[in-house]
Structure 1
């Protein structure tokens, strides 16, 4: 298990998304080279299709109310979904919640 974690990123999701991911708030996702945010999202969407639809639209773009951060940095200020990932990094997914 430790070897697997050494080649993976930690994906942290909000409780609303965790409900469609077997109630997991934190997942270890193994990396394939070259590892990108898009690749990690593809792997998660393959295992959790509802997750995929809630995070990306039909064109594959990140939905406007979803924010992704790699080690605390917004991917919009990096290379978007093309942002490269290294083992041990954290991908945080946050959904904006509207209300009033």
Structure 2
């Protein structure tokens, strides 16, 4: 991350009920700048999943914080792949819903 981006992320303040708060980790929800940075970061984070899906001619799609994929992998292999991906950043947590059909 560039130095100016780090300063913007680490120096976000807000006021609520006459009290001032400083954001200490991450960006403010709803901020256009935070949304752009999150999309840039997630594009890098999800590369392993994208490459895997492309290799097996499967679907991968993400909208904000929802991911949709198709696969012929077993449930255990899906969870293993997701676990390997999430290890890269402990701040990103994934909850899964696995269905047998669309």
User: Rg: which structure is higher?
Assistant: 2
Larger helix fraction of residues: 2
Please, what TM-score do these two structures have when normalized by structure 2?
A: 0.29
By relative contact order (CA 8 Å, sep 6+), the higher-ranking structure is: 1
TM-score for both structures, normalised by structure 1: 0.29
